[in-house]
Chains A and B, each alone.
Chain A
């Protein structure tokens, strides 16, 4: 192996791979991402194709997960539903990172009133529970998957502001940032070159856990009718219509819920594993 064999990243990767549950989480996440990407090829049927002859049929060889109240194939809808969930999870959190991290770094490095204002805004947003803020935002933006994702992204961003700000404040007090500043580096350069690389591990952990939260939020908003609009499939909206047929067709409620549970569990396991692997002290809180 080369000289990089024992870099901190390598060591963290090795610790992560030793964490069996985290690897299980990673595998499940990869499978769901593949399901989302390859849905058109994997799916046994068109997720929007209704059928009079196949209304609310229990799971069978022809329809592994059964059919819904319009005769649509539930497996196909679960597979396509992975698209809404994964998009909401990954894209919303990416946007939240893109909003939160630069603002947090700016606050931490600039100090003064800029910092005070940004910190207060983040506190203000964090003083409302995640789901309630996301519902309020989605309500004012109007019901649509894109709006739900935007609402989730905005709601998820203050935690990254707080994290990046805290790390920037810590870094500002260190000798190496002090030295870089003394050499005349502008604040943006300090943030980009000297602080950002050091805060990637905690950001990665938080992002993984935030994705789990964002997926639950998307499912919740779609369940309430504020996310993915019918007939397009989403696990949350599938659960909503399943509730009306609980006595006659319980499978409608079982499979989409199981999918949400598995994905969220997988991201949580990955997050725990990453935290253990990236924390040099190796202690879980």
Chain B
């Protein structure tokens, strides 16, 4: 186990370092001089420009700029937001819980729809139920998040007036109102993942239902419920759980547009606002943080896979 973990970390760390070089390099694509943007009204004053360049290390050679940036980044310091003069790390940590609540709700919705639907379509393979479930999953995967969001606002907020069209209330302030503001964006975010989970579950269930242990279970006279639920599903869930972990990471990307549409002040809105304010340190910080979370989740997925599948532990 430990050697495996060390080997994995040996792959992850260089990967993240290379990513940090790429993200740092993005700055070079930027049209114009960052010092000019930051100086604002004082852009005519060479002294101010020189001071800004010195503070941000912009007057040093590129490799030195990078070393300065990365040594701080590994300590969790992604620099300051140019716009609001606050540490980027602080902004990210403030926004993350909001997106996390949204993502967890979305994921629960996806699980609640995707897994039963996948089991159902596997059990009724090649019958109308299977086709219907597959069609719905394909629709879920093909519908762009933001359009589904707009359509749901149109139906549930504009036409029916059941749910608020936008905004966010923290869970601990008013749980009911929080749920009301989260449920629609969470459904939008979860629908695509539900489709993917359904497909994974279906494939895994079809595999499991063809196994000898299922035949044995049937042969010893177990009811179909017990065969499907206790024998096939438990084994089929192993790959689904690990794939699900990676899908959870993708929710972060989906949150960018969903938060924009429902005006939820989360992680996704942070990057969009930063892009429009040309607040590049925030953009870099968010991308780096996303990569960290994503990589962390795939490590968790592998660990989970080993935890539920003892045969892999010695490998």
Q: Which residues does A use to contact B, with CB under 8 Å?
A: 120-121, 123-125, 127-133, 135-142, 212, 216, 219-220, 223-226, 239, 242-243, 246-247, 250, 253-254, 257, 260-261, 264-265, 268-269, 284-285
Contact = CB atoms under 8 A, between A and B. Distances in A.
B22 A125 contact: yes
A262 B292 CA distance: 34
B15 A123 contact: yes
Given A224-B275, A264-B143, 20 more contacts: A124-B15, A124-B18, A128-B294, A129-B249, A129-B250, A131-B256, A132-B290, A136-B275, A216-B144, A220-B144, A220-B256, A223-B257, A226-B275, A246-B158, A253-B150, A253-B151, A257-B151, A260-B147, A268-B138, A285-B203
Contacts of A212: 142
B213 interface: no
B295 interface: yes
A120 B147 contact: no
A275 to B, nearest CB: 12
- The secondary structure that dominates the B interface is helix
A136 B290 CA distance: 12
Contacts of A219: 144, 146
A97 B240 CA distance: 30
B14 A140 contact: no
A132 B286 contact: yes
B235 interface: no
16 contacts: A124-B16, A125-B22, A127-B15, A128-B19, A129-B252, A129-B290, A132-B287, A136-B26, A140-B30, A219-B146, A246-B153, A246-B154, A247-B158, A261-B143, A264-B143, A268-B141
Interface in B221-261: 249-250, 252-254, 256-257, 260-261
Interface in B167-193: none
A140 B19 contact: no
B19 A127 contact: yes
B280 interface: yes
Contacts of A139: 274-275, 278, 280, 283
Contacts of A247: 158
- The secondary structure that dominates the A interface is helix
B198 interface: no
A257 B147 contact: yes
B271 interface: yes
Nearest to B200: A285
Contacts of B294: 127-129
Contacts of B254: 131
Contacts of B14: 120
A242 B284 CA distance: 31
A86 to B, nearest CB: 16
A129 B250 CA distance: 6
Nearest to B21: A124
Given A261-B143, A265-B139, A250 B276 contact: no
A250 B154 contact: yes
Contacts of B23: 136
B271 A132 contact: yes
B211 interface: no
Highest count of chain B CB atoms <10 Å: which of A131, A212, A254, A260: A131
Nearest to B267: A132
A127 B154 contact: no
Contact of B252 (A132, A223, A261): A132
A120 B12 CA distance: 9
Contacts of A131: 253-254, 256-257
Contacts of B249: 129
B26 A132 contact: no
Given A121-B18, A128-B294, A261 B260 contact: no
Contacts of B51: none
A130 B254 CA distance: 10
B272 A224 contact: yes
B61 interface: no
